[in-house]
Each structure stands twice: as C-alpha cells, then as structure tokens.
Amino acid sequence: MTTTTASQVIHEPRFMDGDEFHIATFALLQQDGTLFEGAQAPELDRETARRIYHTMVLIRVLDERMLAAQRQGRLSFYMQCTGEEAAVIGSAAALDDDDMIMAQYREQGALAYRGFGIDEFMNQLFGNAEDYGKGRQMPIHYGSAKLHYMTISSPLATQIPQAAGYAYGQKLDGQGRCTITYFGEGAASEGDFHAALNMAAVHRAPVIFFCRNNGYAISTPSVEQFAADGVAPRAFGYKMHVIRVDGNDVLAVYAATREARRIAVEHNQPVLIEAMTYRLAAHSSSDDPSGYRSKKEEALWREKDPVNRMRLWMLAQEWWSDDEEKTLQEQLRREVLETMKRAEKRPPPPLASLVEDVYAEVPARLQEQLDALEAHVRRHPEAYPKSAPGLDQGGA
C-alpha cells in the first residue's frame, strides 16, 4: 500500500496558513506595446498574431453591436467579453484547433478564433431555425461540434469535472489531444471545481483549467469570494502545476497556455492557469455595475485594455497598420449589422422541434403531447404567432 503523504515529524505545534506561498504573475508585454526588460516574446508567427488580433476586434464589434441590439429589445439577453479578450483568445490560440474547449459563457472569443462565423453567432443569439441548438437556450449559449466547442450551459462550473472526464477519454484514445475548460473566479467556489481538480490530478487527465479572475462574480468582489490569494494557490492542495498570468497580456497568456498544453499532453497532467483580468463591461445585459463599483476603478482598468495593448505591439512589429485597423473596423461593423438583420428575419424553429433531442428517439408519451399541442395551436393560431404559420405550411 502506498500513501501520498510522506511527512516530517515535528514536536511542537506549528500551524501554517499558506502565506509562505506567493504566486507571481507572469507578464511579458507592457501597456505601451513594448516588452518588459528581459522578457522574451513567445514564438508567435505573423499569421497567428493577426488571426488573434482580428478575432479580438471582431469580438469587440460583436459585443458592442449586440448589447445595443439587446437595449433596443431586438435580443432577449447578452453577455460581453470586454476586457478579457486577451485571456480567452490568446489561450485558444495556443491550442491545437481540434483540442476540446469547454467554456463557461464569456468565451465567445475562443469560438470566434476557431472560425465560428458571424452568421452562426447570430443564429444562436436570435434562436432561429438555423441555430444549431434549435432556439432552445438563451443567447450566448453557443456550441459547435465541428469546431470542438462544447455547448455552453448556464449552471456554473458543471463543465469543469466534465472537462476532466473528456480529457481522460482523450488520453485513452491516445491521439495527443487535450481539453481546456474556462471558468470565472466565482465559479471556482462551486463544489464542482474541487471535484474536477482532484479527479483530474488523481487520474492524470490532460486538461487545462483556465480561470478568468476578473475581480467580480456579478456584484460580488473577489475579496468576498475567497480569503486566499486568488484561485491559483489551491492547485498546491491537488499537487497540480499552476501559473498565474497577466490576463490582459496576450503574449504571456499565449506562452503560458502553450506550455500548459505541453505538460498536459506530454505528461498527462492537468494544469491550472489563473489569468488576472477585469470584467470591463456589466456582468450581463441584465446588470448595472454602477450599483457596486466605481467609475474610477473601471477607468483604471480601461487603461490596461488588452486589445489596445496587442494593437500597439502589432504596430511595433509592423504586422499591423492604422489603415488596416480602420478598414477592419468598418468592414466588421458593416458585416455584423447586415448579418444581424438577416438572422432576425429567419423563421423560428418548427413546433415539432420542441420534442426532438430530449431522447435519441421521441417516446410515445411525448409524441402524444406534441400532437395535442399542435391541435391546440391550430385552434388558436392568433395566440401563437411564432409556431402557427409553420404549422399552416407544414400541413399534417
């Protein structure tokens, strides 16, 4: 029988609170776009850098436009990624495109980086008939099988142990793939976080736990979320590799995630990354942060804008120009607007889709319920403007 505890024996009571561990923050890029003295940029080619930056700009434009659409009542709900683009997109870029991503909800940038089209975003946001999820989930609950991006669900942290299991399956398959799971520092307080890290460490799953520590879980500041020095020190309790990184520094995030992926895939060991960042926008379209934090604090972080930081670095590399910036901004604004208008007009999913996918096949009792509902809608078409027209055309 082996034990994991080989402990020195002492003869006086000595209590420890972990204060002797201080986890430094890994940072490479300064806000003016230059590297810290002695820092070295990761190997990042021009094409990948441009793909990352392009995705950042797209997400900014999309978030801005869709929040406005929500304010206009065209959309029921929205959540922005503003301020966290470097953390999300920089880490996604460090993976292979067929590694699995299991996200929380503020990681649309990772999906966009993989190539999810504006049209695909819009179909989900409007829950129309083209939405892969058949209009069943709230906006921003994206998913894509072809891009290896697991469909988002609202219950916080549930995806974290799932990611451990998914990664364990990848290990058994032996294809050299891994899973990254994103979650906020608030979600890390859920029991599923503990369950996941412990399971992954014991069973050596190639999974990267990526925590976006953005300072707030809705209105709750992180000082009311945990007493310790952030989320990172918890890794020690699971004997897990851990790194804290400046989440607004795309180069540091990219370098850290690349190395985390190497550890996960080559050694079948999980890694925890804590990206320190700030949720610049409201929690969601249903939230107003002015009730719980100061404009001054927000302004301080706006100066640390991760997108601007990368732009300045790209300009210095001569991988980007002000002209290209202007063209891209205009082009994306136009494209987002036009795509939104098209998506809004698409029909809703058909009534029969209500009962599909509950099970692999529709059970008899559920089919009876659908039949009754269809008959009812036919009797009251005026009360069901979304589904009644489809029924008329569909016949039956």
Partner 1 sequence: MPTMNLLQAINNALDIAMESDPRVLCFGEDVGGFGGVFRATSHLQEKYGRERCFNTPLVEQGIIGFANGLAAQGHKPVAEIQFADYIFPAFDQIVNESAKFRYRSGSLFEVGGLTIRAPYGGGISGGLYHSQSPEAYFAHTPGLKIVVPRNPHQAKGLLLAAIRDPDPVLFFEPKRLYRASTGEVPEADYQLPLGEAEVIKEGSDVTLLAWGAQVEVTEKAAELAEKEGISCEVIDLRSILPWDVETVAQSVLKTGRLVISHEAPLTGGFAGEIAATIAERCFLYLESPIQRVTGLDTPFPLTLEKEYLPNHLKIVEAIKASIDF
Q: Which residues bind partner 1 (CB under 8 A)?
A: 100, 102, 131-134, 136-137, 141, 143-145, 150-151, 153, 155, 158, 160-170, 172, 179, 191-192, 194-196, 198-199, 202-203, 356-361, 363-366
Q: Catalytic: which of 241, 279, 309, 311?
A: 279
CB of residue 372 to partner 1, shortest distance in Å: 12
Q: Closer to partner 1 at the Cβ: 102 or 307? A: 102
Q: Is 380 a catalytic residue?
A: no
Q: Closer to partner 1 at the Cβ: 48 or 153? A: 153
Q: Catalytic: which of 60, 244, 261, 283?
A: 283
Q: Catalytic: which of 46, 71, 262, 292?
A: 292
CB of residue 217 to partner 1, shortest distance in Å: 18
Q: Closer to partner 1 at the Cβ: 325 or 356? A: 356
Give the containing element (helix H, strand E) for 207. strand 207-213
Task: Give me the torsion for CA of 57, 60, 63, 67, rounded to 10°.
Answer: -140
CB of residue 367 to partner 1, shortest distance in Å: 11
Separation CA 236–CA 116 (nearest Å)? 36
**What distances in angstroms separate CA 104 from CA 4, 150, 347, one per listed residue?**
33, 10, 28
**Exposed/middle/buried for 105, CB within 10 Å: 0-12, 13-18, 19+?**
buried
CB of residue 359 to partner 1, shortest distance in Å: 5
Residue with tokens 């058909």: 350
CA angle 243, 58, 250 (to 5 degrees): 20
Q: Is 283 a catalytic residue?
A: yes
b or e along 334-364 (b: 16 or more beta carbons within 10 Å of the residue's beta carbon)? ebbeebbebbeebebbbbbbbbbeeeeeeee
Q: Closer to partner 1 at the Cβ: 174 or 395? A: 174
Q: Closer to partner 1 at the Cβ: 131 or 274? A: 131
Distance of CA 33 to the CA centre of its chain: 25
Tokens of 150: 């697991």
**What distances in angstroms separate CA 252 from CA 18, 100, 124, 178, 302, one per listed residue?**
26, 21, 32, 20, 19
CB of residue 102 to partner 1, shortest distance in Å: 8
Which residues are marked as active site?
279, 283, 292
